[in-house]
Amino acid sequence: MNIQLTHVEKSFGEQLAINDIDFTIQSGEICCLLGPSGSGKTTLIRLMIGALAPDQGTVRVGETKMPSMSMLRQIGFMPQNDGLYEDLSAEANLEFFGSIYKLGKKALEARITEVLALVDLTQDRKKLVRNFSGGMKKRLSLAIAILHKPDVLFLDEPTVGIDPILRRQIWDQFQTIRAEGTTIIVSTHVMDEVLECDRAALIYNGRLIAYDTVQHLLDQTENGRVEELFLIAGEQEVGEHA
C-alpha cells in the first residue's frame, strides 16, 4: 500500500511542526525519514498512522484518507518511546495488543510464539516488562508492531539502544517483512540503516527538503555520508535568507 501526503501541515500552538509536506511513499519500499532532533519525524509518522489529524492537506494510506479506524488492522506502529505495560509479562502485552486486532485465541498464541522468536525473546515470554532492559523493550515493541502482519509498518527509531549484532538481525527481519510486500517507513539516525532503505525523505525544520533514492542522495555528497546532506541543506537555507 502506498502513502500519499498532499500539502500536509500541522502546528502545535504557534509552532509549525510540519510545513507543506507533499510526497508519496511507494508501495513495497523501505522509506527512511532522516532529520535532526525536533525536525518533525515523529509528528510526520503520527500524521501517517492517523494518530494526529493534519491542519491542512491530506494523508492517504492506500485509498483511505487518514485518520481512519478501519486502517488499524493494516498499520503496524513501533513508537519511539514504547507503549508497553510494565506490570504485565511480555506474553500478556502481546495478548493485549492481539485482542485489539481481534485475532482468534489459537492463531494469536501461535503468532505470539512466532514473533517472540523473531525478536529473540522466547526465553523471556513470562517475564514482567518492568524487569526488561531497554533493548528488550525495543524488541518487544517491534514484536507488537508486526503481530497482526500489517501491510504498512511504521518504525520510529527502532534500533536505538540495540547492540550491532541484534540490530543486524532486526534489519534482516525488516528485509524479510518487506520481501513479503509490506511497505516500511523508518526514522533513523544510523548510516548503516539508511543504506538498507530504498528511498530517503530528508526532513528539516518541518519541511521535506529532499526525497530520492538513497543512492541518488548519497551521490550528491563528497564522502557518501548522510550528515553531509544536511550540511548542504543548511547552506541552501542560509543562502535563501541572505
Binding site for Mg ion (CB under 5 A): 41-42, 80
Query: Shortest approach of Mg ion to residue 41 CB, angstroms?
Result: 5
Task: Measure the CA–CA gap between 230 and 209, rounded to whole angstroms.
Answer: 9
38 binds, among Mg ion, ligand ATP, none (CB under 5 to 8 A by kind): ligand ATP
Residue 89 interaction partner, one of Mg ion, ligand ATP, none, beta carbon < 5-8 Å per kind: none
Q: Minimal distance in Å, beta carbon 75 to ligand ATP? A: 18
CB of 53 to ligand ATP, least distance (A): 13
Strand partners, 9: 56
- Which residues are near ligand ATP by CB under 6 A? 12, 17, 35, 37-43, 80
Q: Long-range contact list for 223-228, CB < 8 A, 24+ apart?
A: 225/191, 226/34, 226/191, 226/194, 226/200
Q: Which residues contact 112 (CB under 8 A, 6 or more apart)?
A: 91, 94, 95, 98, 125, 147
> Which of ligand ATP, Mg ion, none binds 226 (CB below 5-8 Å, type-dependent)?
none
Residue 188 contact, options ligand ATP, Mg ion, none, Cβ 5-8 Å cut-off depending on partner type: none
Residue with cell 518487544: 140
The entry of ligand ATP, Mg ion, none that residue 123 binds, CB within 5 to 8 Å by partner kind: none
Which C-beta is closer to ligand ATP: that of 54 or that of 98? 54
Q: Single out the residue of 50, 234, 227 nearest to residue 154, CA to CA.
A: 50
- C-beta closer to Mg ion: residue 34 or 144: 34
Q: How far is the CB of 45 from ligand ATP (least distance, A)?
A: 8
Q: How far is the CB of 48 from Mg ion (least distance, A)?
A: 13
Cross-strand bridge partners of residue 231: none
CA atoms 64, 158, 112, 83: torsion sign: negative
